[in-house]
Structure 1
């Protein structure tokens, strides 16, 4: 069974997730946006072996510590989808705009595509390409644990911004309704910011993607 710990980092309070297989203790870091020392401390506290860095999309607050963590742990960076390469190529500009210190470039060892699978010990994460917030955003789903790591696609009571370059609100809504809802109402999700929720609650009450919005 997949276990996880949410670790908010940086002034954006972005939810980096330390995830691990309860059987093998093999782990991964999802969206290490900053504060590498804090992340290394959490890994040591939990007592797991991190084997990979996973990125949902290319925004600075989600990738800011990816290169530093990959080098420190000697592990690969996996994701996001190749369509977010232009965001990773502009980390210097993102850092200036978002109030971050200059940050090392992020060069993924592997891009992700819709339908890919990622192993974390005995656990399997399914990859869903869910554009709209950014064109290359992916969502990671552990169907066995009924758990999703959705980055900035969906939040409790809201959805991701779409006013960034190549963002598209209609595409974002289609990603949520067409790809996430069919996974099942019982799926809990860890968003990129803020508290967890579940798909049933968002289908009932989220003003952007609740079922009542679509007749």
Structure 2
């Protein structure tokens, strides 16, 4: 597979910031740079990559906290999330106070993403799927040839995203998982926003929140 990935846990929340790169061109995107920019850039340099953009799944602090600084430092465009998460990005100063994080700058994405859009990383293309519920503007990225999905905080190994934040909705999240993620295929591996990777098929069998047996 010419799309490669490496996860870098960042922030006290151990959020999975992911480096995605095209093996042919060595051009890369960083997905959800929540913080610890030096650690992210060290991973980029170690692999000889050329960062070309920032991709965001949603507007929560642990996923976007390093975005403004990284974009300014390297002049990178920001793509995502869906514009329904604009209020989360605008509230970054409040989020930092709430969770005891150092102050971070707010920002405006260069491109808001919609259901059916595509994003590129080097010569590779990923599908954008709008998966609200954890936040109203949450998106996931799916690389169909490699059967790889980056799902942010929609789905975890053995769990699902929280829905007790402003404009979160449990029923909407369940629909996003069952109607947007499952049709992509049981053999799809996914990188969640926190914790280990899994496959959609494994979660359909074992995840207590969204296993098929719950809806039989």
Find the counterpart in structure 2 of residue 95 from structure 1: 96
Find the counterpart in structure 2 of residue 80 from structure 1: 81
RMSD of aligned alpha carbons: 0.6
Question: Does the aligned pair in 2 maintain the 1:53–1:76 contact within 8 Å?
Answer: yes
Superposed, 1:1-215 pairs within 5 Å as 1-215=2-216
In structure 1, list runs of 5 or more residues that go unmatched. Answer: none
> Normalized against structure 1, the TM-score is what?
0.99
Query: 3-state DSSP class of the match of 1:112?
Result: coil
In structure 2, list runs of 5 or more residues that go unmatched. Answer: none
Taking the aligned partners of 1:78 and 1:99, their CA distance within structure 2 comes to: 27
Taking the aligned partners of 1:46 and 1:60, their CA distance within structure 2 comes to: 27
Question: Does the aligned pair in 2 maintain the 1:188–1:198 contact within 8 Å?
Answer: yes
Q: Which moved more, 1:53-62 or 1:95-104?
A: 95-104
Report how many residues are paired: 215
Query: 3-state DSSP class of the match of 2:85?
Result: helix
Query: 3-state DSSP class of the match of 2:25?
Result: coil
After superposition, the C-alpha distances for 1:84-119 in whole angstroms (9 at most, x for unaligned) are: 000001001100111211111121111000000011
After superposition, the C-alpha distances for 1:158-212 in whole angstroms (9 at most, x for unaligned) are: 0000000000000000000000000000100000000000001000000010000
Query: 3-state DSSP class of the match of 2:112?
Result: strand
Following TM superposition, where does structure 1 have runs of at least 4 consecutive aligned residues deviating by more than 4 angstroms? none
Taking the aligned partners of 2:107 and 2:13, their CA distance within structure 1 comes to: 19
Query: 3-state DSSP class of the match of 2:194?
Result: coil
After superposition, the C-alpha distances for 1:53-109 in whole angstroms (9 at most, x for unaligned) are: 000000000000011111112110110000000000100110011121111112111
Q: Which moved more, 1:97-106 or 1:188-197?
A: 97-106
Taking the aligned partners of 1:199 and 1:107, their CA distance within structure 2 comes to: 32
Taking the aligned partners of 2:192 and 2:211, their CA distance within structure 1 comes to: 17
Query: 3-state DSSP class of the match of 1:100?
Result: coil
Query: 3-state DSSP class of the match of 1:52?
Result: strand
